[in-house]
Amino acid sequence: GQNIDQPTEMTATEGAIVQINCTYQTSGFNGLFWYQQHAGEAPTFLSYNVLDGLEEKGRFSSFLSRSKGYSYLLLKELQMKDSASYLCAVKGNYGQNFVFGPGTRLSVLP
Amino acid sequence: DAGITQSPRHKVTETGTPVTLRCHQTENHRYMYWYRQDPGHGLRLIHYSYGVKDTDKGEVSDGYSVSRSKTEDFLLTLESATSSQTSVYFCAIANQGLASTDTQYFGPGTRLTVL
């Protein structure tokens, strides 16, 4: 079976750092993706990891450990506009197989 | 932004009626997907297409059918809508070449309410 787990909700303060975790158990692995989704909008691509380690893109970084089935998204210097849901998705061996986690709703407070 | 549109954007219908949602892309991407998004479930794949007239089922395909007669259009049909199909429906596209870095790009979504 396939299972992806994320915390349901998180709260952080403007200017702070927050780490959103994602654990997965999937049949085959061909990359892990993070998406951001503002309320009422479509998900938008944030980052991608296929090898172990940290990928940094500006204020956002994503980490992957394939042996542990674990990833996290790190958001630095939080801004109010970062309030959104963050979706973890794993791509399986077959190109069509994206499995999404339930998403983590992040609220950034002033 | 990837050129993906969905129509209609909002629809209210009654139980038992047929409904067709349309996804249109201008990116000439090979792969197209239909997802539904419900609270607590995240995005779940309904059907996908890997080329014209080539489609396959996803995780939650019961009660849905799809068609793709042209590269740019992917239609999702609810033959007889039920209240459990009330959801937000997202279309996505991907180039899905040999490079595994290919991600999906999502349309704006269709909010469907079945009364």
Residues in A closer than 8 angstroms to B94, CB to CB, are: 95
Sign of the CA dihedral with B79 first, then B84, B89, and B91 last: negative
> Quick one: pLDDT band at residue A29, thresholds 50, 70, 90?
confident
**Which residue from A95, A100, A101 is facing B96, i.e. has the nearest CB?**
A95
Residue bearing the bigger pLDDT, A93 or B84: B84
Candidates B53, B104, B38; CA nearest to A96 is: B104
- How is residue B10 annotated by DSSP? E
Residue to substitute from A9, A100, A104, A105, interface B, most B β-carbons within 10 A = A100
Chain A hits for B40, Cβ within 8 Å: 102
Note whether B107 contacts A: Cβ–Cβ < 8 A. Answer: yes
Residue B98: band (very low, low, confident or very high) from pLDDT cuts 50, 70, 90: very low
What distance in Å separates residue A43's CA from the closest CA in chain B? 6
Bigger pLDDT: B95 or A68? A68
Contact B42 A42 (CB under 8 A): no
Are A100 and B103 inside 8 Å of each other by CB? no
The torsion defined by the Cα of B44, B46, B50 and B55, in degrees rounded to 10, comes to: 160
Taking the Cβ of residue A42 and every Cβ of chain B, the question of whether any pair is shorter than 8 Å is answered with yes
What average pLDDT does this structure show over A64-79?
Answer: 97
Q: Is the pLDDT of residue A95 over 70?
A: no
A92 vs B: CB within 8 A: no
CA-based R_g, chain B, Å:
13
Determine the 3-state secondary structure of B84 from DSSP.
helix
**Mean pLDDT over each residue of chain B, to the nearest integer:** 91
Question: How far is Cα A21 from Cα A45, in angstroms, rounded to an integer?
Answer: 17
The string of pLDDT tens digits covering residues B20-53 is 999 999 999 988 999 999 987 889 999 999 899 9
The 3-class secondary structure across chain A, one letter per residue, is CCEEECCCEEEEECCCCEEEEEEEECCCCCCEEEEEECCCCCCEEEEEECCCEEEEECCEEEEEECCCCEEEEEECCCCHHHCEEEEEEEECCCCCCEEECCCEEEEEEC
